[in-house]
């Protein structure tokens, strides 16, 4: 009996020793992993992040926009398997894809914005400040309102999407800050502000028709890239004039991707999100958003450019009333923006208005794709250039005629000179092929 008792005691002691050894091995393994990471060091991860180019104007150009890219301590993104995981205790945003997007410190942005006093705009997300980085580059800093739960989701969405979307007609994300309970997005600075301000503000000079067509093409190219160039495709979901920004050359870029979604994500939305006046009726009724939902919003934007009237001021009712009075593809000029003062090509104007009306068709399948829209505007611009060239040639015709001032001719030599001219003309005629 006593032997059995000692046997059980021995077994228990063996189990305890085995468990102790397993726990010790586990902690030794973790200690070894930590030492390996400490040998790598924070600066190496910063330098690695700095090697990822920030594309400012599409796939063909790269531009570093912060001193963080030189390997300073403010760049804390660690790239693992092509995906950047954020440090600093950001549990709510951990795992958001931010490959190639640099992280800035709060102090950097506080200094660049003069302690957040350079306010240039205010949106649903929060205030936007102009910032001068130590490199001399001007950027725009969008600060998430601290009480905005929806804004935090939009913050994650923008970083996740814009980390991989680069096009000359998109407002590119330069970096972000997630520190001291603050969430900030840093963008390329667009010095001319929003398209809405140029359409509606009396402080801005009216946009001429040719510039409006160019802006429409720029926006269409940005959306075409999202729909057909991005992998997987992206639906913007909030196209409106206040989300179209203009650079110093008045070239347009699509901004604000807080509501954007990849098309592969479930298309069913529990709540309607977007801006009323621009929302696709099909989306409102079915809660399903598609590429054609963006096309509808784009069509409303086109009518804003055409009529100079806001969707909140009965724009679409105004358009539908005009559509009843048009004859097929003509007659749209009656809704032209008064600020244009009738200075536009009527044929071109009607073609753009007809295209816009197709975009807002209540049946999504009948709306054109963004690729079709880009092709239409490209053809319009080519036709415009051809007409200008033809007009220029008509004003300055090429001629080989010799003009003679009869008053300067010597009477005695007039006959011989005229004979020489006739000889030159006949020679020219004989050599033409």
Give the list of residues 6+ apart from residue 240 with CB closer than 8 angstroms, or none.
196, 275, 277, 278, 297, 300, 301, 311
> How many C-alpha atoms does 184 have within 13 Å on its Cβ side?
30
Give the list of residues 6+ apart from residue 367 with CB closer than 8 angstroms, or none.
292, 295, 296, 299, 358, 359, 360, 361
- Here the tokens at position 193 are 């502000």
Contact between 236 and 403 under an 8 Å Cβ cutoff? The reply is: no
* Dist. CA 237–CA 251, nearest whole Å: 22
DSSP for residue 367:
S
* Dist. CA 255–CA 240, nearest whole Å: 10
Which alpha helices (DSSP H) does 97-255 contain, by range?
A: 106-112, 149-162, 195-200, 209-224
Phi-psi region of 189 (alpha: psi -120 to 50; beta: other; left: phi over 0): beta
- Here the tokens at position 398 are 């090429």
Beta bridge partners of 184: 143, 177
How long, in residues, is the chain? 433
Beta bridge partners of 181: none
The tokens 């998430």 sit on which residue?
144
Give the list of residues 6+ apart from residue 301 with CB closer than 8 angstroms, or none.
216, 219, 239, 240, 241, 244, 278
Catalytic residue ranges: 238
Pairing of strands 102-103, 173-179: parallel
């Amino acid at each position: 009996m006593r032997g059995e008792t000692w046997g059980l005691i021995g077994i228990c002691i063996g189990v305890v020793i085995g468990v102790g050894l397993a726990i010790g091995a586990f902690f030794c393994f973790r200690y070894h992993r930590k030492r390996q990471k400490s040998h790598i060091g924070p600066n190496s991860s910063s330098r690695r992040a700095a090697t990822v180019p920030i594309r400012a104007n599409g796939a063909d150009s790269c531009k570093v926009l912060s001193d963080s890219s030189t390997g300073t301590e403010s760049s804390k993104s660690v790239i693992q398997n092509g995906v950047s995981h954020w440090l600093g205790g950001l549990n709510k945003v951990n795992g958001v894809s931010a490959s190639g997007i640099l992280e800035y410190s709060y102090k950097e942005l506080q200094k660049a914005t003069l302690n957040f006093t350079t306010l240039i705009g205010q949106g649903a997300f929060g205030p936007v400040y102009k910032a001068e980085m130590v490199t001399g580059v001007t950027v725009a800093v969008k600060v998430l309102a601290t009480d905005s739960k929806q804004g935090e989701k939009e913050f994650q969405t923008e970083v996740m999407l814009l980390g991989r979307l680069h096009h000359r007609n998109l407002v590119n994300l330069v970096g972000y800050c997630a520190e001291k309970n603050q969430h900030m997005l840093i963008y390329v600075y667009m010095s001319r502000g929003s398209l809405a301000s140029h359409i509606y503000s009396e402080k801005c000079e009216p946009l001429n028709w040719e510039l409006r067509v160019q802006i429409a093409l720029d926006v269409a190219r940005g959306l075409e890239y999202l729909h057909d160039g991005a992998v997987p495709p992206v639906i913007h979901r909030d196209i409106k004039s206040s989300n179209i920004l203009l650079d110093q050359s008045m070239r347009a870029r699509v901004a604000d991707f807080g509501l954007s979604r990849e098309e592969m994500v479930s298309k069913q939305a529990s709540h309607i999100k977007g801006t009323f006046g621009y929302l696709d009726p099909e989306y409102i009724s079915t809660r399903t958003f598609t590429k054609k939902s963006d096309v509808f919003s784009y069509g409303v934007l086109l009518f804003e450019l055409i009529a100079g009237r806001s969707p909140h001021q009965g724009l679409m009712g105004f358009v539908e009333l005009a559509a009843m009075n048009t004859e097929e593809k003509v007659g749209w000029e009656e809704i032209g923006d008064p600020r244009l003062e009738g200075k536009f090509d009527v044929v071109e104007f009607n073609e753009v208005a007809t295209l816009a009306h197709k975009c807002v068709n209540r049946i999504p399948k009948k709306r054109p794709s963004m690729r079709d829209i880009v092709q239409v505007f490209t053809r319009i611009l080519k036709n415009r250039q051809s007409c200008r060239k033809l007009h220029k040639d008509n004003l300055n015709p090429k001629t080989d005629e010799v003009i003679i001032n009869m008053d300067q001719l010597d009477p005695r030599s007039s006959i011989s000179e005229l004979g020489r001219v006739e000889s030159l003309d006949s020679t020219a005629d004989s050599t033409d092929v």
